[in-house]
Structure 1
Amino acid sequence: MTSFIEEVIIDIHEKSLNVSELTFVLPSKRAGVFLKHELSKVFKSTFFAPEILSTETFVETLSNLQYINNTELIFEFYDVYLKVTPKENVEPFDQFYKWAQILLQDFNEIDRYLVAPQNIFDYLTAIKEIEHHHWSVDENQTDYIKNYLAFWKRLKQYYELLNDQLISKRKGYQGLVYREAVNNLEQFTIANQEKTFVFVGFNALNKAEETIIQELLQQDIAIIYWDLDQRFFKDSIHDAGMFIRQHKANWPYFRKNPINWLSNNYSKPKNIDIIGTPKNIGQVKYIGELLQRLKNEKNSLKNTAVVLGNESLLMPLLNSMPEDIGPINITMGLPLNAIPLASLFEKLFAIQKSTSKTLYYKDVITILSHQFIKPLLVDNDIDHADIIIDHIQNNNIANITAKGITELAPSKTELLELLFNNWNNNSRRGLSNCSKLIMSIKAFLDKDKSKQLLSLEYLYRFNEIFNTLGLMLTKHEHIESINTLHGLYRELIKNETLDFKGEPLQGLQIMGMLESRVLDFETVIIASVNEGVLPAGKSNNSFIPFDVKIENNLPTYKEKDAVYTYHFYRLLQRANTVFLVYNTEPDVLQGNEKSRFITQLEIDDTHNINHYIVSPKVPAIQQSLTQIKKTDAVLSRIKEIAEKGFSPSSLTNYIRNPIDFYKQKILGIKEFDDVEETVATNTLGTTIHNTLEDFYTPYIGKELTSKNVEAMKPKIHDTVLKHFKNEYKKGDTTKGKNLIIFEIAKRYVSNFLDLEIDALQQGNTIKIISVEEDNKVKIDIPELDFPVYLTGKVDRIDEFNGTTRIIDYKSGKVEASKVKISQWEDLTTDYDKYSKPFQILAYAYMLNSKKPFTAPVEAGIISFKNLGSGFLKFTENKNTLISQETLENYTVELRNLILEICNPNIEFIEKEV
């Protein structure tokens, strides 16, 4: 393969031009490295290297202005805005910042394309007045209408005053620099008659660039080399050749001079594979495997490039690389907002922008658990971060003060104050805290520099960012609020990168689409060949309407798509092997289906194209249910549990799934105890249970009267609140969902008391026998050589018209059908149907074991979500009384269940869910 740059150098050599006296102008700085390399290969004798400039550097030299960075430009614009805008209409900087970025982009386009400003701004003003004609002619215009129309009239003033102010400081944004370069063009050409400028590899040019290059060509002090294939030049509708066809047709220079030059490389045989793979991570994993295969086949990845359409895939790609990949050169730079340290400062800004006087526990835990913070909170093997997090979780603290955090770790007060003390919306204080935090992290990392080089590099770059912000703060008084500071911080880390160091002429090249300009590779892998990425598609970030852009020859999304089309096909021109990888899973909102470039290639039919859909290798895993053998240690633990007592809930847990019983009772594994932001169901249930216990305990052994129950009602609020505080600890029940749940708990208790009052007023008698009574009884199982007990707490036992009732409260909804049984054999096999009867019969069994029943006994459930159904009685084939026969049948099933649990030959076998 002969690269485009090599072809250019060979042509210059054949024309016997003095290379040392040439000035090469290239689309990017990166191409200059490759150009120097090709010069050394073609020219064998010693010579002075020519001057090699990027387009922007060349134009900057021509304009006598210096490029201003985007952040400084925003401040210059705000100064202009304050001068032009009436004081009553002035917006604070953080509001201005949001729309000023878009307007500056429009100013940039207007200047780059040398559009007369009045053509745009007068047109825009007129359009707005026409669009809102009824506003304009209304005699009683509101202030809003007046301000809206006045804003559009001021755009021209903003533009003119900003340009004057920048030129007076010899600075300019890109468009202004280009316009000034054109203004200086005549003087420049006179001063440089002895030079020859060589423009290499250009395609889409703005009006200013066109004017500059055409003038230098007309003055015979320039040569231009285009890189386009005949195939696209001759196709009048192919976007890849759109711009160069226009130049050929419109430039006077080409009426007398040939175009240098049109190659014929695209039609040469190529291996093109189009690979669809699910999700972005699937793309980079596939590329990693592909690179390994290519390296094994060729023993080298020289002349191979991975071009990322979506540059955010850089880090996942690097993590997917084979270990023996060899030299890699990365030209893109890693955006600082993709570095782990960015998430720390983002979270710090987020908590400072909050108007709350307390800190949300998840934000606190995120910061304390951050990889750059957690090690700083370890002191003499004591992890203060864990201590604070445990305290928050154990006490159910959803919101905490900064003081509350520092009190939990007094030895780390200074660091915790840096992290959590309020900046009081003071940008200077915020900057100072961030800088001090960076120095604290640095002091820790310095203890083991050799292992922390990358982290220190991250830290250094962020220190530079905050130093830059500090410099801005001293220069500009507009950075007053944390909102403004955060916006500037985001702008800086979005545009700043952590650059990689590599050898650009060796090994695998990883780059973005724009970095590939002028460069050629034998093997090209392009990722994210999806609509919305390649090409980027429509964008509306502009104050200038589409029709106004068309009228003034400003670029629209069509021209931007054509730029990507050119770069895409140019990469394919000289390549022998091409892999196009795309995401097969379109985004629901954005679309991002397979790129039109792929469809175009398939329809074009110039090359044989192989289309594959690949997916991760997912081995067929047989779903095997977990089985746990009962070792001596497990059997020993079962004996301990048996002696302590099986609870009805633990036995029904075994019925539901023996593995759950094994994990919770044998291994003692508890569910993760996170902060309970919204009152959980079990907390609600416990609160109701405890409230009713308080109400009914004084009446144990007594008959209730309606007055007794009426006297309980005024105490509902305070008693429920007391038990909520006991269970929910420091959780807030005064607002939101928690307030609703608190009111529900009160309503449940009140409705239950109303049910009792109604029953008593109808002439029924209710005598309270016990409330929340603990029970532990021995179960006679001769087959076992160790004692077995059943234990549990009965919510309430009473006598209702002489019938003893064993009552279990349920805060959830229970239907009458859930407390019925017809076949005793099903009791220990079907959890969903019979867990409720199993539990209430367990309570009946325990009470009968302590004192055999003599009076009629019923057992059942009161469901607070189904209070209308009253007392839901256990029913066996329509019989609601608990007889000795009932208990004997239950005892058989209970013993069999416990024997199964204790049997060393029966494993804990997981049930299918």
Structure 2
Amino acid sequence: MTNFIQDVILDLKNQNASFSDLIFILPSRRAGVFLRNELSLVLNQTILAPKILSIENFVEDLSNLKSVSNTELLFQFYNTYLELTPENQREPFDTFTKWSQIILQDFNEIDRYLIPQKKIFDYLKAIKDLEHWSLQANQTELVTNYLSFWNKLNDYYTHFTKKLIDNRQGYQGLLYREAYNNIESYIEESNSKHIFLGFNALNEAEEHIIQKLIKNHLASIYWDTDQTFIENKIHDAGLFIRQHKTNWSVFEKQPFNWLNNYYKTDKNINIYGVPKNIGQAKAVGKILDNLSSTDPNLKNTAVVLGDENLLIPILNSVPKSVDVLNVTMGFPLKTIPLASLFEHLFNLQKKHNNKLYYKEVISLLSHQYIQPLFNNGSAITLIDTINKNNIVYLNETSLLEITKEETSLIKLLFGNWKNNPNIGLENCFELITTIKEQLSEDKKTNQLGLEYLFRFNTLFNEVKRLNDTYNHIKDIKGLYSIYKELLSSETLDFQGEPLQGLQIMGMLESRVLDFETVIITNVNEGILPSGKTNNSFIPFDVKLENKLPTYKEKDAVYTYHFYHLLQRAKNVYILYNTEIDTLLGGEKSRFINQLELEGIHKINHQILTPKIPNYKKELAVITKTESIISQLKTIAQKGFSPSSLTSYVRNPIDFYYQKLLGISDLEEVEETIAANTLGTVVHNTLEALYIPLKQQFLTVEIIKSLKPKINELITKYFKEEYKDGDMTKGKNLIVFEIAKRYVLNFLNLEIKSLEAGNTIKIIDLEAQSNQVFTTVKGLNFSVKLRGTVDRIDEFNGVTRIIDYKTGKVDQSKVSVIEWDDVLTDYTKYSKSFQVLMYAYMLKKMNLVELPLEAGIISFKNLSAGFIPFTKKEQVRGGNKTTLITAEILEEFEIQLHKLILEIFNPEIDFIEKEL
């Protein structure tokens, strides 16, 4: 396959052109690398290399101005804004940057298309006057300021561009306008032949410059398009070149080079719909793997990314069979881990008022670049301390109290920048140096990390230079705004051989280049083409009137690039995301529909789905080895509690993890008071209230005397349990009041019961039953049982064992019909098992006499009062008994022993239950 660049060189060779005297001008620098290579292959003689320029470089030379970065333009434009805006109307720099970007973009478009500036700015002002009925006498201050802004646009432009030109600087549009102004003098001085090749959409300045050079016999232009697109009057791939062919007077006398006919040649076109971006990356990897089996070098293959965010997934999906690849796009700095570190740092400092939110502190301490800076894992200690003590807000002092060995590091990370950008920059540089020293201990392993640090150091140096020069950054918000602006445009460039192996590139890098095999990703509406985006203050109708590009022209640009990739290719793979995402692109692109409707090529359209292994979830099984049995015996000597035994009933694997492996739940900050904390506080408060009343009969007066103590005790126990957590506002204040209400309602329930004529005597509170041993038939050792009973009292002469629950419990949760069900259904019978085990243990210790009652008081169901355990008989009418007798405890003992035997049975593994 001969490519477009080869065709141009061969045509010039046939014309006996002196290549050393030529100036080649291309749409991009990337194309220049390929042109230089093709020259070396086609020409069979040694020559001095011709001058090869991108159109931007050529225009910059022609304008005699130096192109300025977008970020520096913001600073210079702010100078203009300050000079022309009264002090009481000025906006801070970080607010200014949000709208000034759009203004600069409009200035750029106006200049590139050589629009008379005053005319369009006056027109915009007139439109805004009409929109806001500004002729009425009483305008609000908002409307007055708004219209004043539009009135100043021409002044802003004139002042800004004059300053730039005086400094021999300019933005792209200004460079084009100045280049257009200088073209006549350039023509007088130049005698070199200019070769323009591969252009499509040209702005007004480019059109005038190229036409003037051609008319003066100083240039030739080669178009890279196809007869199919030119003949079809509505095909957007030929929109601009049709216009040039028709409107340029130079083509009345000169040939139009060229209209080829490659597009209709046979092509193998495959269109794949793939779910999600990662699915596309995996599909690209599979395609490359298949291609590399016949061509390991993939010399004439390109992967073109519609969405450049797919770069990293694609790189991770390239198969090992691909030996060489070249990436033409940079790796965005904003996606590397170091960017997230500074994001955390700026988020913390933007609202730093000597009160740091724990999540932001933990985010910094947990970062992969920060943890190694702390000695002996003290970062983990800090995080654990914050979690254990429920510290929601911290400050530098409290952090230093926790870890006194890391004073300088804590001050570096969490010290207040005092809203001063210079302090912020100094801290960023110091942090980079600190991380560099740590990474430099093993340079070979940390090469990439050190490269990241170098690029961020360069970025912050640029921020410092800009601020030292212009002094516009007055606070941390402004510093963060400029940091983000620079970060969005900075990349970490790959090093490689640009002419070898597989090429991975963005859509714009593909200009002028031809490949036999092309893989294009993200061919979705909103991406290819980008759709109706309008980042401009200039209304659509005004753009049409002044022949400025709209979304239609921008779509046509991408149409040309898309079809150009297909033009000479033999194998084409087009991928699109089948999952419609309104933020990242919608349904499949109109380009795909157009390809299918054209009927020129035979197209293989398939929907690909990821190959998902049909893994059947296997429940975990832990075999009871001798060491496990030995460990179980050790636990049996310490004692089984009701909750540990019911956890086995719920899921044996949880019992194994918690009791044998000692794995506890992850401890995190309780930003909002958790249910178990609320339960503990209520339990402890009731215990403190009733302890002085042990072995006493309660009276209404006694209970009433307890009420004034509620607030003090609730506060005390919340501080003990919730540590340094804040209970004075938000949801925590609500939970605090709920706890007080629970206790008060309970006391009112006691008063109501006493007033009804019932007698209540407190026997014991938080009764410890830690010396209960039960002998299980089949085991050659005794098993210890232990537990704590919330309350034992005597109600109208009947002993009651009471367990408090802050959750909701009803009678069905403490009722048993069939004894064998107790060990099978945790949800239904765990409460029954618990209260029966308390009764069993207390009877074993001779602390209670039978018969008795055992049950629950539910604080979410206080109206039910005491909910006793009941044994229901399976007979019509549902006879039941609430008294626990020796017979009931014997039946319970059978179930208890059966459960313990199962736990110790080496033949029965710990098997996970499907919950």
**Preserved contact between residue 306 and residue 510 of structure 1 (Cα < 8 Å):** yes
Q: 2:55 — aligned with what?
A: 55
Matched, 1:849 2:849: no
Q: Distance in 2 between matches of 1:26 and 1:715?
A: 86
In 1, distance between residues paired with 2:424 and 2:147? 38
**Paired letter, 1:489:** Y
State the distance in 2 between where 1:796 and 1:741 align: 24
CA–CA distance in structure 2, aligned partners of residues 630 and 444 of structure 1: 46
How far apart are 1:356 and its partner, in Å? 4.0
Aligned to 1:868: 863
2:908 counterpart SS class? coil
2:330 paired residue among 315, 329, 333: 333
Q: Secondary structure at the match of 2:787?
A: strand
The answer to whether the 8 A contact 1:803-1:855 is kept is no
- Where does residue 876 of structure 2 map in the other structure? none
CA-to-aligned-CA distance 1:705-749 (integer Å, 9 cap, x gap): 122222222221221111111111122212222222111111111
Map of 2:265 onto structure 1? 268
Aligned residue in 2 for 1:782: 777
* Letter matched to residue 152 of structure 1: W
Offset at 1:37? 1.0
Is 1:888 matched up with 2:890?
Answer: yes
Q: CA deviation at 1:455?
A: 1.5
Using the alignment, how far apart are the partners of 1:431 and 1:316 within structure 2? 33
Conserved? CA contact 2:514–2:568, under 8 Å? yes
In the other structure, the counterpart of 2:547 is: 553
* 8 Å Cα contact 2:421/2:476 also seen in 1: yes
Whichever residue aligns with residue 793 of structure 1, its letter is: T
Cα 1:178–1:77 shift into 2, 3 Å: same
Give the drift of 1:232: 0.9
CA contact (8 A) 2:524 2:585 kept: no
Out of 637, 644, 647, the residue aligned to residue 643 of structure 1 is: 637
Aligned partner of 2:189 in structure 1 is 191
Deviation at 1:398, TM superposition (A): 2.2
- Residue 798 (1) aligns with residue 793 (2): yes
Matches for 1:139-218 after TM superposition, within 5 Å? 139-192=137-190, 194-218=191-215
Query: Per the alignment, in what secondary structure is the counterpart of residue 876 of structure 1?
Result: strand
Are the structure 2 counterparts of residues 281 and 902 from structure 1 closer, same or farther at C-alpha, using a change threshold of 3 Å?
A: same
Deviation per CA, 1:179-216, whole angstroms, max 9, x where unpaired?
Answer: 11111121111222x22111000001111111111111
Deviation string for 1:868-905 (max 9, x for gaps)?
22111212222111122221221111111111111111
Q: 1:561 offset after TM fit, Å?
A: 0.8
Look up the equivalent residue of 1:141 and give its one-letter code.
Q
Equivalent residue for 1:258, pick from 238, 242, 255: 255
What residue identity is the alignment partner of 2:186? Answer: F
Matched, 1:828 2:830: no
User: Unmatched 5+ residue regions in structure 1?
Assistant: none
Cα displacement (A) at 1:464: 0.8
Once the two structures are overlaid, the 10-residue window that deviates more, 577-586 or 259-268, is: 577-586
Cα distance in 1, alignment partners of residues 255 and 768 from structure 2:
102
Shift of 1:354: 1.3
Q: How big is the shift at 1:162?
A: 0.9
Residues 124-139 of structure 1 aligned to structure 2 (within 5 Å): 124-133=124-133, 136-139=134-137
Take 1:300 and 1:94, find their aligned partners in 2: how far apart are those partners? 49
Alpha-carbon distance, 1:399 to partner: 2.1
Look up the SS of the partner of 1:197 in the other structure. Answer: strand
> Residue 514 in 1 paired to residue 543 in 2?
no
Report the CA distance between 1:589 and its aligned residue: 5.0
**How do 1:278-357 residues align onto structure 2 when only pairs under 5 Å count?**
278-357=275-354
Give the Å deviation of 1:856: 4.5
Distance in 1 between residues matched to 2:710 and 2:469, nearest whole Å: 63
**Would you say the 8 A contact 1:716–1:750 is kept in 2?**
yes
Deviation at 1:555, TM superposition (A): 0.8
**Matching residue of 1:766:** 760
Paired AA for residue 429 in structure 1:
I
C-alpha separation in 2, matches of 1:855 and 1:911: 37
Judge conservation of contact 1:679–1:728 (CA < 8 Å) in 2.
Answer: yes
- What's the CA shift for 1:18? 1.0
Residue matched to 1:247: 244
1:26 alignment partner in structure 2: 26
Q: Distance in 2 between matches of 1:821 and 1:564?
A: 73
TM-score of the superposed pair, with normalisation by structure 2: 0.97
Cα deviation code 1:507-554 (max 9, x no counterpart):
111111101100111111111111111111121321111111111111
45-54 or 817-826, which moves further after superposition?
Answer: 817-826
- Conserved? CA contact 2:850–2:885, under 8 Å: no
Choose the corresponding residue for 1:897, options 876, 896, 899.
899
- The alpha-carbon distance between structure 1 residues 82 and 242, as it changes in their structure 2 partners (threshold 3 A), is same
Q: Give the drift of 1:570.
A: 0.2
Whether the 8 Å contact between 2:620 and 2:912 is mirrored in structure 1 is yes
Amino acid at match of 2:858: S
Q: Counterpart of 1:54 in structure 2: which amino acid?
A: S
**Secondary structure, in 3 states, of the residue corresponding to 2:294?**
helix
Q: Is the 8 A contact 1:288 1:322 kept in 2?
A: yes
Aligned position for 1:910: 912
Give the corresponding residue for 2:877.
none
Listed one character per residue, the Cα deviations across residues 793-826 of structure 1 (whole Å, up to 9, x for unaligned) are 1111111221211111111111222222211121
What residue identity is the alignment partner of 2:645?
L
2:646 aligns to what?
652
Q: Distance in 1 between matches of 2:318 and 2:693?
A: 75
Q: Secondary structure at the residue paired with 2:793?
A: strand
Note the C-alpha offset of 1:593.
Answer: 1.8
Quote the offset at 1:316 in angstroms.
2.0
316-325 or 543-552, which deviates more: 316-325
Equivalent position SS for 1:450: coil
Indicate the residue corresponding to 2:80 in structure 1: 80
SS in 1 for 2:765: strand
Q: Do the aligned residues in 2 keep the contact of 1:329 with 1:507 (CA within 8 Å)?
A: yes
Structure 1 CA distance for aligned equivalents of residues 32 and 518 of structure 2: 20
Deviation digits for residues 812-852 of structure 1 (CA, Å, limit 9, x no counterpart): 11122222221112111111111111111111111222227
Indicate the residue corresponding to 2:531 in structure 1: 537
* Secondary structure at 1:290 match in 2: helix
Percent identity, please.
Answer: 58
**Cα 1:611/1:429, change in 2 over 3 Å:** same
Question: Equivalent residues in 2 for 1:378-777 (5 A)?
Answer: 378=375, 382-587=376-581, 589=583, 591-776=585-770, 777=772
Q: Deviation at 1:45?
A: 1.1
Q: Conserved in 1, the CA contact under 8 Å of 2:132 and 2:143?
A: no
SS of residue paired to 1:763: coil
- 1:231 partnered with 2:231: no
Counterpart residue identity of residue 184, structure 1: N
C-alpha distance in structure 2 between counterparts of 1:820 and 1:273, whole Å: 66
Which amino acid counterpart does residue 888 of structure 1 have in structure 2?
E
- TM-score when normalising by structure 1: 0.97
Matched with 2:70 is 70
Find the aligned partners of 2:847 and 2:716 in 1 and give their Cα distance.
Answer: 38
Q: Distance in 2 between matches of 1:830 and 1:692?
A: 31
Question: 8 Å contact 2:354–2:396 — kept in the other structure?
Answer: no
Q: Indicate conservation of the 8 Å contact 1:523/1:575, yes or no.
A: yes
Matched, 1:103 2:103: yes
CA contact (8 A) 2:199 2:223 kept: yes
**Structure 1 stretch displaced more, 782-791 or 685-694:** 782-791
CA distance in structure 1 between the partners assigned to 2:369 and 2:851 by the alignment: 69
Distance between the aligned counterparts of 2:759 and 2:692, measured in 1?
17
The gaps in structure 2 that reach 5 residues or longer are 873-879
Aligned length: 907
Determine whether 1:375 maps to 2:372: yes
| 1:812 matched residue in structure 2 | 807
* In 2, Cα distance between equivalents of 1:675 and 1:715: 29
Amino acid of the residue matched to residue 485 of structure 1?
Answer: L
* AA partner of residue 181 (structure 2): N
Query: For 1:21-80, what per-residue CA distance to the aligned partner results, in whole angstroms no more than 9, with x for missing partners?
Result: 111110001111111111111111111111111001111111111111111111111111
Residue 614 (structure 1) shift: 2.3
RMSD: 1.5
Please give the secondary structure, in 1, of the residue aligned with 2:857: strand
CA deviation map 1:638-696 (0-9, x unaligned): 21222222111111111111111111112221111122222111111111111111111
Question: 1:355 deviation in Å?
Answer: 4.2
